[in-house]
Structure 1
């Protein structure tokens, strides 16, 4: 039977569609296989079973990172790790998050030599963590310091007045849920917040004095929120040496660690981007041409700072986006 021209065209269109979807399915399956194999291979860090120097990166805004705390503990317990380099590049973050990591690093330092290698920045809680190590190395132009504590909250009362919004509240006591962005801060509320800040500040200064072998007066003089270059920090005893990872490895050598050992970075075993494991998300992102999907989008955009709550130890230069 002779086919009509319209039927022939429709059949050809159908074949093209089927071919497209077959190719697409094959590509997706191939990506899945590659990503899965990359993920499985990534679960075994090369050299992890042999003696090595562990590198742990601490970057971005600091919070109470359970995965990081777990990794620090695993490094502490590993017989293959002979020394540790903390690679720090952070403006700080929550004071409680910095405290948790500081305590974990001190525990790690009791078991193995630990050196901090500062990249661009180790300020506030970032410097707090660096001070937990046995030796601090920073670049000459690194930014170090910003020792202090801060609480910030917006005042939306002017906006509420313009919009005709009134706040009604009933609370058990005057200082409950204070300070509030929805009403002016009273002197009593401001005094309460300042007492909290000064208590944490006193603790922070005590850490610096103890860890950097300073008098309390010396530490207090440096703890006015200022930041220093690496060279200035060295002159003020906030760091021990200028340089990079080579100098960090050389210092580990003075503590009995073979400087010829490989440096192996201990990374998170799994990530959370779109519920994919880290290695799988990285492979898929590269295959799709959109970069590394293993990093949470909120962290990549720096927007996690918008959700920080409580007392902060975070460097905040003038006109910057995030808080000090």
Structure 2
């Protein structure tokens, strides 16, 4: 059963955790998570339409992902920002596509150990023909058109396709930097000093104008309340999208109103070698598998092409 409304004004809290993907997000194969552009856009749209929601806090913990999905979420967040304060809280990471989304906020907080930046583009694809030959797998593909085999995993890019991908990457990078400067042009003095794939710890990012304040999610909520002229104790924190209740599932309530409290995932058996890995290592492997899938679907992505661990 969903809690009864208290009648107080609310601050919407929206989580963006994991690899950024097109469409719906959810739990990854190895226990990680992904944030889908469709789900994020619905949550932001609900916050914008709800008159009881006075401000929005987006909590980001993402290494990036799809360039298209990052742009969709940026546009949705800026649409909300035209009506209500949008505050961003960065958890352990907002890199590449994660920072793309973060730049949509009016004010950015970052945890002290957060990794911020990686304003850059990754492009390419995995060619698996030699692997297929080694395992005795024969494939035959027929194409019609100059770029029909652009996404093929059986042959590398030719010179023409390589130029096409390079231009695609350049245009995506220019759009990325323009989105960042759209909201932070008075704070970042020189985009070239913070872009080109560089990463920073939170305090460095603050000095460079990429982050406004060092602090956690509570600090972000307090700041959002102040921007909306809400007094301490005089507002609720409303997580969007709300988990679906049993009644929602039995009545077939649309997914646009709430999310399932569970997702399908792969169970790791007792004899699996993956069980010997730490949860953090399994999450990292899951993210890399997500990136492989992204590159197979679209050869230009906004991801951090390595795994970082702060000890």
TM-score range, shorter chain: 0.7 to 0.9
TM-score between both structures, scaled by the size of structure 2: 0.74
Larger radius of gyration: 1
What is the CA-CA distance between 1:164 and the residue it aligns to? Answer: 5.8
Partner of 1:241: 213
Higher helix share: 1
Determine whether 1:154 maps to 2:126. yes
Q: 1:203 to 1:216 in 2, by over 3 A?
A: farther
Higher relative contact order (CA 8 A, sep 6+): 2
Q: 1:62 aligns with which of 3, 20, 41?
A: 20
**1:208-227 alignment, distance < 5 Å:** 208-213=180-185, 218-227=190-199
Partner of 1:314: 303
Q: 1:188 to 1:296 in 2, by over 3 A?
A: same
Partner of 2:27: none
Partner of 1:297: 265
Paired residues in the alignment total 262
- Listed one character per residue, the Cα deviations across residues 242-288 of structure 1 (whole Å, up to 9, x for unaligned) are 111232134224424314123222234439xxx899xxxxxxxxxxx
What is the CA-CA distance between 1:166 and the residue it aligns to? Answer: 5.9
CA distance in 2, matches of 1:152, 1:100: 22
**1:18-167 alignment, distance < 5 Å:** 41-42=1-2, 44=3, 46-47=5-6, 49-64=7-22, 65=36, 66-163=38-135
Higher strand share: 2
- Listed one character per residue, the Cα deviations across residues 34-65 of structure 1 (whole Å, up to 9, x for unaligned) are xxxxxxx13x4654x43121111111111233
CA distance in 2, matches of 1:196, 1:151: 9
CA distance in 2, matches of 1:215, 1:139: 19
In structure 2, runs of 5+ residues without a counterpart are 23-35, 252-259, 268-281
Indicate the larger mover: 86-95 or 240-249.
240-249
CA distance in 2, matches of 1:188, 1:58: 37
Instruction: Say whether the 8 Å CA contact 2:96–2:119 is kept in structure 1.
Output: yes
CA distance in 2, matches of 1:45, 1:63: 33
TM-score between both structures, scaled by the size of structure 1: 0.71
Indicate the larger mover: 261-270 or 185-194.
261-270
- Listed one character per residue, the Cα deviations across residues 88-107 of structure 1 (whole Å, up to 9, x for unaligned) are 11111111111111111001
CA distance in 2, matches of 1:216, 1:52: 32
What is the CA-CA distance between 1:191 and the residue it aligns to? Answer: 1.3
Partner of 1:264: 238
CA distance in 2, matches of 1:168, 1:253: 60
- Cα-Cα RMSD: 3.1
Determine whether 1:188 maps to 2:150. no
Instruction: Say whether the 8 Å CA contact 1:250–1:259 is kept in structure 2.
Output: no
Q: 1:319 to 1:140 in 2, by over 3 A?
A: closer
In structure 1, runs of 5+ residues without a counterpart are 1-40, 278-291
